[in-house]
Chains A and B, each alone.
Chain A
Amino acid sequence: MVGNDIVDIALAQQQSNWKRPRYLDKIFTQKEQDLILQSDLPEIKLWQLWSMKEAAYKLYTQINPCRFFNPKAFECTFSNGAEVTYDTFTCAVKTETTSNYIMSEARLKQDEMLSSVIEFEASSVSTQSEFLKDCLLSEVAHYFQTDRKQLNFVKQAYGIPTIEYNDKMINVSLAHHGQYGTIAFSR
């Protein structure tokens, strides 16, 4: 299983004013806030931690189907490699940071990154999400050496995305923000 998330850095700067009162405190634990504020690039650190939390949430909800919004409860720690902990759940997270985006991927154990990043040309959000789904179906079809027509993209309960192939259910993760999207599937 795999959960991922992506932040378009330029768009995040436009969309979010992280310096507004109480903003950091709603999302981040005191330790995380200290990490952000002590960083040379606080805004990059902030979106790195945010994307780690989102990726971990997506992995968690694949294992425990449900839906909720409580980013602060997903705590990022770095003492044992990058990890996110929620209650008794812990996962390993890898992050790829460029000057344009920050992408995080959560796995149950440290493993090689499965996510690919896609840069969009279209600007409409619904076109982007269709395109992203398309790219994912192509990647999965290629991996299983099958025709795309054999694959069904299905949202399970709580909107958790999967691909059905023969009698298999493949866990997938998709995220998009601004000009960037990311896709991954379990293999």
Chain B
Amino acid sequence: MNKEELIAKLKPIIAPYIQDEESFKNLTEDTDFVNDLKINSANLVDIILDIEDAFDIRLENEDMEQMLDVKSAMNIVTQKLQG
């Protein structure tokens, strides 16, 4: 899966939890879940669970630690898929 495909797969997972439409429209690797998309921190857990389900992977607490932006989410998913 290349970067564009990965972002395309992540976008609908993130969509239900965003509170800033404008940032979501312009989503890039550098988009921050909390600062840009204004996602409630309790919903970060939902995103993590949704990612686990969508990619059939399991994320440990250490993996979650940096899951605060699109780039980190992509890195962790890529690692797990290769793992």
**Interface residues of A, Cβ cutoff 8 Å to B:** 7, 12, 15-17, 20-23, 26-27, 50, 54, 67-73, 125-126, 159, 177
CA of A161 to CA of B28, assembled, Å: 25
**Residue of A whose beta carbon sits closest to that of B66:** A68
B52: nearest chain-A partner, CB-CB = A22
Assembly CA distance A7 to B19 (angstroms): 16
* B67 lies within 8 A of chain A by Cβ: yes
User: Which residues of B lie under 8 Å from residue A72 when comparing CB positions?
Assistant: 61
Total contacts A-B at CB 8 Å: 51
Residues of B within 8 A of A67 (CB): 68
Interface residues of B in 34-67 (CB under 8 A from A): 35, 38, 40-46, 48-49, 52, 61-62, 64-67
Closest A residue to B44 by beta carbon equals A69
Chain B residues near A22: list those with CB within 8 A: 49, 52
Bound state CA distance, A120 and B20, in angstroms?
18
A16 to B67, Cβ gap below 8 A?
no
Given contacts A22-B49, A159-B35, contact A69 B19 (CB under 8 A): no
Q: Is the interface of B mostly helix, strand, loop or mixed?
A: helix
Other A-B contacts than A17-B46, A26-B48, A73-B61, 10 sampled, CB-CB below 8 A, are A15-B42, A20-B46, A20-B49, A26-B61, A26-B64, A69-B65, A69-B67, A70-B62, A125-B19, A126-B20
Closest-by-CB residue of A relative to B41 is A54
**Which residue of A26, A71, A73, A177 is within 8 Å of B40 (Cβ)?**
A177
Whole-angstrom CA separation of A54 from B40 in the bound complex: 12
Take A20-B49, A26-B48 as given contacts and tell me if A125 and B64 are in contact as well, using a CB distance cutoff of 8 Å: no
Query: A residues within 8 A CB of B68?
Result: 67-69
11 contacts across the A-B interface (CB closer than 8 A): A7-B42, A16-B42, A20-B49, A26-B61, A68-B68, A69-B41, A69-B64, A70-B61, A125-B20, A126-B20, A159-B35
A70 contacts B42, C-beta separation under 8 Å:
no
Task: Determine whether the beta carbon of B45 is less than 8 Å from that of A27.
Answer: yes
B46 touches A16 (CB 8 A): yes
Closest chain A CB from B35 CB (angstroms): 7
Q: Measured between C-beta atoms, what is the minimum distance from B58 to chain A in Å?
A: 9
Interface residues in B59-82 by Cβ distance below 8 A to A read 61-62, 64-68
A87 nearest CB across to chain B (Å): 13
Min CB–CB distance A18 → chain B (angstroms): 9
